[in-house]
Amino acid sequence: MKITDIKIRKFFEEGPMKAVVSVTFDDALAVHDIKVIYARDRYFIVMPSRKNADGTYRDIVHPINADFRGELESAVIDAYHVQLIAAEEEQARERAESEYSVF
């Protein structure tokens, strides 16, 4: 199974959750609501989950082995950084354009 697309759906500036991501596999299956977390000086992902009646959470979908988890985590975190830089550059460009339009 190959990762064919990664979309950052939402960025967060405050708190440990930094983004919500959708990943497409083999151009055929999409997994939504993967979370990018920054805690204890490192980034990692948290898979989509649901809350059980006893208040605990259970993953809805998850990698079966450590190798694929590592591949998925690396791809998602790399895409997060690339899209974060692009978003920051776009914001800087918009600020610069608005400063020029004031005059």
Tell me the residue type at 49.
S
Q: Is the predicted pLDDT of residue 64 greater than 90, yes or no?
A: yes
More confident residue, 92 or 37: 37
Average pLDDT, integer, range 46-57: 96
Average pLDDT, integer, range 16-32: 97
The alpha carbon of 56 is separated from its chain's Cα centroid by a whole number of angstroms, namely 23
What pLDDT score was predicted for residue 103?
Answer: 55
Sequence spans of domains, the chain: 3-102
What pLDDT score was predicted for residue 77?
Answer: 98
For residue range 31-40, what is the model confidence (pLDDT) as tens digits?
A: 999 999 999 9
Among 3.30.1120.40, 1.10.10.10, 3.90.870.10, 1.25.40.10, what is the CATH number of 3-102? 3.30.1120.40
